[in-house]
Structure 1
């Protein structure tokens, strides 16, 4: 009997509130204001056939990155960690090269969406940090909003050898019907660069009672411009639970990708993550 193909959740989080470095995480986000550990995620992975994950930073501290790497060392299903370091530090390039020696650190993610200066990503300090990431073979996760897409294109053109993944489709304003400007800017990113894009985080940008029909124009556009070879699935668990359970978002994705071939589905669920994060093949 043939085993089902491996599948990767390329974007999930864990956190412990008493660590104290999740400034964005307040009691206003009641469903998220709790500890989330590997044992909380494992039942969802088993139910949906997910065999491995990429654990992504949720706090702008190296201490949280160390915490995530300790979890990855203890749990084989965590295939890699996207961490954080301060790109503005004068010694950031050296720090990045040192951090890259950890076998499960596969990328870094500054929290661009929370930085007031939309052009921060184009500063000399960031450029030096990205050059070090390229040298180290680390992947840059771009946590951007639609307004960041024009400077992101400039960044990508300046660093053509840097592997970049745009998180959450750059968070299109689905609930407000924002489509055209986002679609045009994402098309430029897809056409002019080799960036990947994560099919994740969309349900929390949609209406409270979202439907697959509401998500479909955005997913279809991403499929057209990036193609199945550059889209990567992620749950964004537990953040997704603000709008959908892990299982519901997984099922919605299966529906949204139903027109793809088996090989194309395998790219989105597995092979693209392996390529983008330079993982050992499952």
Structure 2
């Protein structure tokens, strides 16, 4: 048996030239293929020829079509059973159009098991959008309203936004909380003001890993983990680290999240294709697998499969 950590080059895929099989804790990599059924709790698809995504203007490397066939090619060799599609921040007014497109893709491809769109929760017209989503799109299980790109770091503490989030349980929806470390103070306010809403924290709360910003991030995440209505996706770390990141750069953040949330409240997410700005799908996946190589099979399955299946009602 070869320990995965001994064969993992930080920031890259496994060296398969001289290795036929790796196995630890019930996870097997054989001839480059992973045998552990996974639910990817955070992936995106988009086509700029069909819908507008204004934020992509600042990311030339991502300004292209990403379809289901590209996603499947990215995780080749990893047993992704289902995925959860998280909205890709389309132009205002295109929220329902994005869902409609994804429902068609899901019907044809079969990978997407649940959809989380955006909606103008801070606006007076939010109920109209929520009612249409609930009536016409049973695959929708929650709403994400991003603070990440918002010009106001206090966006999540706006009274109008909080009122919109409070409306979600009426439709059986959860909330995807997407904020970076500069916005987590407002995120804490939001979570505490909406105890009846379950919040899925995206991308580990956006720590500034490149600047070694562990302490302020950890303090906010401790506060969020102390709220029983939160879960956390372990995703998005590679794009918050420096360009030549290593597994050791990410490990303290992963360990801290598992410590404060426990294995019952964490989920794996790839953040594909955004992750490709800093790593391949496989490089990030294998980095996380290596970080939890010593845990029990039960806990590993919670992280990579069971929690997401339950949270997103995947059956």
TM-score range normalised by the length of the shorter chain: over 0.9
What is the aligned partner in structure 1 of residue 115 from structure 2? Answer: 81
Q: How far apart, in 1, do the equivalents of 2:103 and 2:232 lie?
A: 24
User: How far does residue 204 in structure 1 lie from its aligned partner after superposition?
Assistant: 0.7
Q: Which runs of 5+ in 1 are unaligned?
A: none
What is the aligned partner in structure 1 of residue 131 from structure 2? Answer: 97
Q: How far apart, in 1, do the equivalents of 2:202 and 2:221 lie?
A: 12
What is the aligned partner in structure 2 of residue 9 from structure 1? Answer: 40
Which structure 2 residues correspond to residues 71-220 of structure 1 after superposition, within 5 A?
Answer: 71-101=105-135, 102-220=137-255
- What SS does structure 2 have at the residue aligned with 1:236? coil
Matched-pair contact (CA < 8 Å) for 2:166–2:196: no
- What SS does structure 1 have at the residue aligned with 2:226? helix
User: How far does residue 20 in structure 1 lie from its aligned partner after superposition?
Assistant: 4.4
Stretch of structure 1 that moved more, 111-120 or 132-141: 111-120
Paired residue for 1:48, among 69, 78, 81? 78
Larger radius of gyration: 2
TM-score, with normalisation over the residues of structure 2? 0.83
What is the aligned partner in structure 2 of residue 58 from structure 1? Answer: 88
User: How far does residue 46 in structure 1 lie from its aligned partner after superposition?
Assistant: 4.3
For residues 183-202 of structure 1, what are the alpha-carbon distances to aligned partners after superposition, in whole Å with 9 as ceiling and x for unaligned? 01101110133301111010
Which structure 2 residues correspond to residues 252-263 of structure 1 after superposition, within 5 A?
Answer: 252-263=287-298
What is the aligned partner in structure 1 of residue 15 from structure 2? Answer: none
For residues 125-184 of structure 1, what are the alpha-carbon distances to aligned partners after superposition, in whole Å with 9 as ceiling and x for unaligned? 223321221111112111101122222112111211211101000110001100101001
Q: Which runs of 5+ in 2 are unaligned?
A: 1-34
Q: How far apart, in 2, do the equivalents of 1:216 and 1:29 lie?
A: 27
Q: How far apart, in 2, do the equivalents of 1:73 and 1:159 lie?
A: 34
Aligned-residue Cα RMSD (Å) equals 1.6
Q: How far apart, in 2, do the equivalents of 1:16 and 1:88 lie?
A: 27
User: How far does residue 100 in structure 1 lie from its aligned partner after superposition?
Assistant: 2.1
User: How far does residue 122 in structure 1 lie from its aligned partner after superposition?
Assistant: 2.7
TM-score, with normalisation over the residues of structure 1? 0.92
- What SS does structure 2 have at the residue aligned with 1:25? helix
